[in-house]
Amino acid sequence: MCLPAIRALKEFCPHDPIVLVCRAYLQDIYRHLPEIDRLIAIPNKTSCRGFFKALRELKKNRFKLAILFTNSFHSALLFRLAGIREITGYEKDGRGFLLSKKIKYPNNDRHHSTFYLDLVGAFTGKDMTRSYPDDLAILPGEKQAIKDILSSQGVEAGSTLVGISPSAAYGTAKQWLPERFSELMQKITREVQTAGILLFGSPKEYEKIENIRLAGEDNHRVFNLSRCLTLRETMAAISLCRAFIGNDSGLMHIASSLKVPLVALYGPNLPRRTGPLYTQARVFHYPVGCAPCLHRDCPTDHRCMTAIRTDDVFAAVRDILGQSA
């Protein structure tokens, strides 16, 4: 969701190198984007050792200006100690005294991408009313390489690939019911004879995703890729899909930025704030009185997710596959 802001920044500062600092596990997302001149990966876990390792790396570069898309105290302290004097960011988490240009965090329901664009507007003094693309880049060589990997996993060439991401890193509150994912996969394999279903997720989610796969009757055309692909390979595999179904998660947003026809399943969060930016995405969301919430696991009956019916999601997927065919 920060990609439009990065592109806006490059438009207004075309001759200045843009260096993106991010957690190591996220750097694959930003590769091969022409607006980003260089990536600096910092440790994934917040620790004293990781903090000082990142600090040494930033100090070597002697940066003069910075924009913080994160809202944490940790990120502002890191940049300030690295010697960066001009730091623009939202005044959150008690870090206002570390910022040279502190922006009041807006209390509204606009999409999250606009929060990042407003930071660029404050940094450049430019008007940010126009829109910017959020496209990600997958190279032709990466697509061919992932085709070879999929073939080695038993995925037949020419399959109608349907991607599914049944997890969400934040917790089960944002996840559609596992048994409904299983039902959906059965419907797809039963009615789409050429379908090959690719299940995506992180390695730590492998067992949970495998249980979803095994619950289906016709699972020889369902492939659990959560333990055999890097994030970059996952992105390349998603780019080959004719349809994608996912919870409110990072992989769903990747599918959106790759312009893969998708069905997004929303529960406790509000799509108008964090929904996919792809205008042709189908979003399922049934507002309930207790939403939005910040629970990792629903303390009641998970009504926001149980309201989404398998038949309705399948109808949307079938419509997408019909249109793409």
How large is the average pLDDT for residues 315-324? Answer: 89
122-131 pLDDT tens trace = 999 999 988 9
Between CA 235 and CA 79 the distance in angstroms is 30
Tell me the CA end-to-end span of the chain in Å, nearest whole number: 29
Average pLDDT, rounded, for the chain: 94
CA distances to 162, 240, 251 from 318, in Å: 11, 17, 21
Between CA 263 and CA 161 the distance in angstroms is 14
Q: Is the pLDDT of residue 325 over 70?
A: no
Q: Percent of the chain at pLDDT above 70?
A: 99
12-25 pLDDT tens trace = 999 999 999 999 99
How large is the average pLDDT for residues 32-53? Answer: 94
> What is this structure's pTM?
0.94
pLDDT at 324: 59
Of the candidate CATH numbers 3.40.50.2000, 3.20.20.70, 3.40.50.2300, 3.40.50.261, the domain formed by 3-124 belongs to: 3.40.50.2000
177-233 pLDDT tens trace = 999 999 999 999 999 999 999 999 999 999 999 999 999 777 889 999 999 999 999
With 0-12 CB in 10 A as exposed, 13-18 as middle and 19+ as buried, what is 147?
A: middle
pLDDT at 223: 97
How large is the average pLDDT for residues 291-314? Answer: 93
Other Cβ atoms less than 10 A from the Cβ of 64: the count is: 10
Please report which confidence band the pLDDT of residue 294 belongs to, taking 50, 70 and 90 as the band edges: confident
Provide, for the chain, the percentages of residues in helix, strand and coil under a 3-state DSSP scheme, each rounded to the nearest 5: 45, 15, 40
Helix (H) or strand (E) holding 198: strand 195-199
220-235 pLDDT tens trace = 899 999 999 999 999 9
Please report which confidence band the pLDDT of residue 110 belongs to, taking 50, 70 and 90 as the band edges: very high
- For 46, the 3-state DSSP assignment is coil
Q: Extract the tokens encoding 100.
A: 């040279």
255-289 pLDDT tens trace = 999 999 999 999 999 999 999 999 999 999 999 98
Widest pairwise Cα distance in the chain: 61
25-42 pLDDT tens trace = 999 999 999 999 999 999
pLDDT at 216: 77
CATH 3.40.50.2000 domain position(s) in the chain? 3-124, 140-324
CA distances to 175, 176, 250, 290 from 287, in Å: 15, 15, 22, 9
Other Cβ atoms less than 10 A from the Cβ of 49: the count is: 9
Name which CATH class applies to 140-324: alpha beta
Please report which confidence band the pLDDT of residue 139 belongs to, taking 50, 70 and 90 as the band edges: very high
Between CA 8 and CA 26 the distance in angstroms is 21
Please report which confidence band the pLDDT of residue 109 belongs to, taking 50, 70 and 90 as the band edges: confident
